[in-house]
Chains A and B, each alone.
Chain A
Amino acid sequence: MDRIIFNLPGFAVDDPDALAAELDFLLDGYAGERNELPVHKRVAEHFKLSWWSPDLKYRWENNLRTYRQHVLDTARWARWLP
């Protein structure tokens, strides 16, 4: 969070609307931390995760994997490149 706050150009706490607009723009497309664990299909169905799809790719360091690829790579303990 400190990285986000420090990146706000004005950090105008006296103007909440301006601050909110700056924050929205700064967070536009922000992907958060780059290591993601894939979500199981049944979990997605149970919680009705509308953003989920079987083709969704999850980042692990500099790699992108679908849920299926993640399971197969993990089962095979496949070596990967950071």
Chain B
Amino acid sequence: MGTVAAMSRSILIYANCQGEELQKTGRYMPCLAERFDFKWIPLHLVEDSHWTTQYGPDFMADVVMLWEQVETGADSPNRTALHQRLPPGCPVVKFPPLSATCLWPFAGNDPRRAVDPTRYPWPDSIAAALANRKLPDDELFEAYLRITTEKMPDLDRRLRMDVTRWKASDALSDVPMADWIERTFRSVNLFHTSGHITAPAIAHLMKQLLSRSAVLGGSLIGAASRETDALLARHCGQDYESVPIHPVVAERLDLRFYDPDATYRWHDHDWTFRQYILHYIRWSDYIG
């Protein structure tokens, strides 16, 4: 097959921001270069008009496979529009979105987000309640630790709720992830936030999708899986906003990867749990 013909084949990814990580990984694989391209439609950003402007017939013409992230509930109009535009007979592999809420049990309301939604997009309701307390750092952090420890919910129940959600998404998917996440999340950090994932999670999902993509052929699937591991071995995943985990959460969920002194990336900063909480309570500026 000539280069031009071979190049005109794309795997289309329809997913939230996790799809961008899959696309980037796919595009950097030497074994797939000049054979397959990866395209991504961000399902959380796509608008009705995009189906005639950005994702029209030219965009869809070379799609030979769809990796489709599932959502519970009825199909959205965008998902229906996607299916209507796929080339006839295009194979589809469905996969779940990855998320974990049990690791950040105080996610809730913070009224400051109503006027400033992007400064700290991952709300903490206890920190929000301390926003007006004029205390020195040590006292403020101690107050946060005391209140959160007193109000810590039943984390085993929270985990069971997450597992139930993971299994519900698995039931709609060709790629099961629930068992793997449940088996792995204590020993390997899989989540930077409730919806942003680390490199090990991206790698596992990518390899599961590759292994179900017959359009690649057996030898390419093996090579692409090995290259996935190599490309993501040192990678940090979606870490530009990484929300630290509460030490009591780590203890009660037996997170073996947890390091109480670890720093977490927040834009151009590396903050410990204490630093993050103090900056969050004070809704402070940061660089990046």
Contact = CB atoms under 8 A, between A and B. Distances in A.
The secondary-structure label for the interface of chain B is: mixed
A80 B234 contact: yes
Contacts, number: 61
B279 interface: yes
Contacts of A82: 24
A63 B235 contact: yes
A79 interface: yes
Contact of A28 (B230, B236, B279): B279
Interface residues of B, number: 27
A26 B234 contact: no
A29 B270 contact: yes
Contacts of B265: 31
A25 B284 contact: yes
Interface in A1-55: 3-4, 7-9, 25-32, 34
A81 B232 contact: yes
B30 A79 contact: yes
Given A34-B268, A79-B230, 13 more contacts: A25-B284, A27-B287, A28-B279, A29-B270, A29-B271, A30-B268, A31-B268, A32-B268, A62-B235, A62-B237, A80-B234, A81-B25, A81-B231
